[in-house]
Amino acid sequence: MTDPSVPDVRVLTDPGHVPAAAVLALADAARAADGHPPLSDQTRVHVQRGTALAVLLTGPDEAPDGAAVLAPEGEGAVLELVVHPDARRRGVATALAGEAAVVVEQRGLQEAVSVWAHGMLPGAAELAAAHGLTPVRELRRMAVDSSVLAPLTAPELPEGVRLRPYVPGTDDAAWLELNAAAFADHPEQGSLTQADLEDRRSEDWFDAAGFLLAEREADGTLLGYHWTKAEGDGTVGEVYAVGVSPDAQGLGLGRALTVAGLVHMRDGGARRVDLYVDADNTAAVRLYEKLGFVLDAADAQYRRV
């Protein structure tokens, strides 16, 4: 006899059967309650595209209590889990994690899957340890408020460099090449494709005016960028990504681009700006701390080691 206290988990691998809108609404509800997104932007893209390897659900299709999404990432996969705030402490996360472990094993991904615990919510570390996973990476969320943003002025750019907004379509190939070079060692950002870029352009938050490109005045070669992000009423912004070409390192362009984006977001109404940075990227952490950013939360990545 089935134990009614154990949530039923459905494993969906056919994109046509995945209620994408309901999964994303679930994630939005968790973010509103926790102040932290439970699914990465790339995982959300895979849910929308129908390219997730598997989506596990508990509860009704139209309003699930919880979901686990197994999405492709390079040669491996990434697993993220979300439980509705009203359905917590009912064994939903435990049930999802158990079934997700079975799916991962069936696909032979045990050594190639990473699991993200966003916001390091209570119980995440215990659940990961129960499945033999070890923390291998910390992604910090840092923030500044209006007391830091208000006095900022437009930065002085390196000689021979100008700043302009991204032009959709026209700048795609050059930006993708720059991004891949700037994030050659980054497992997510450096692997963005044309399809990924187009998916992000289709998001409600996308604004080409806030996608700032630094180029060499002499020939228009892209040297760096600051992609800003603002959702909702625009009072909270995000340093979505800052990248500098290896050929432009040492010019102070990273700091200048960061400040330029902060000024843009502030002038657009932002009273707070967040960013995400790897804890072991000490140079970036120091730069952000000097600009006034403080630690606000953190994500942990777990793997089997």
CATH number at residue 260: 3.40.630.30
CA dihedral of 11, 31, 262, 146, whole degrees rounded to 10: -170
Q: What are the strands of the beta sheet with 222-230, ordered from one edge? A: 10-12, 54-58, 66-73, 76-83, 113-117, 294-303, 134-145, 272-278, 236-244, 222-230, 211-216, 161-165
Binding residues for acetyl-CoA: 81-83, 89-94, 242-244, 249-255, 281-286
How many domains does the chain divide into? 2
Question: Where among 72, 106, 132 does a domain terminate?
Answer: 132
Q: Is 221 helix (H, G, I), strand (E, B) or coil?
A: coil
Q: Give dist(CA 198, CA 50) in Å, integer.
A: 15
Residue 3 lies in a domain: no
**121/196 same-domain check:** no
Cα-only R_g, the chain:
20
Question: Where among 70, 102, 132 does a domain terminate?
Answer: 132
Residue 1 lies in a domain: no
Range of the domain at 293: 143-300
**155/270 same-domain check:** yes
Are the CB atoms for 116 and 300 separated by under 8 Å? yes
**120/156 same-domain check:** no
pLDDT in tens for each of the 305 residues of the chain?
A: 445 567 999 999 998 899 999 999 999 999 999 988 999 999 999 999 999 999 999 999 899 999 999 999 988 999 999 999 999 999 999 999 999 999 999 999 999 999 999 987 778 888 999 999 999 999 999 999 999 999 999 999 999 999 999 999 999 999 999 999 999 888 778 889 999 999 999 999 999 999 999 999 999 999 999 999 998 899 999 999 999 999 999 999 999 999 999 999 999 999 999 999 999 999 999 999 999 999 998 999 999 98
**125/153 same-domain check:** no
Binding residues: 41, 81-83, 89-94, 188, 229, 238, 242-244, 249-255, 276, 281-286
**170/257 same-domain check:** yes
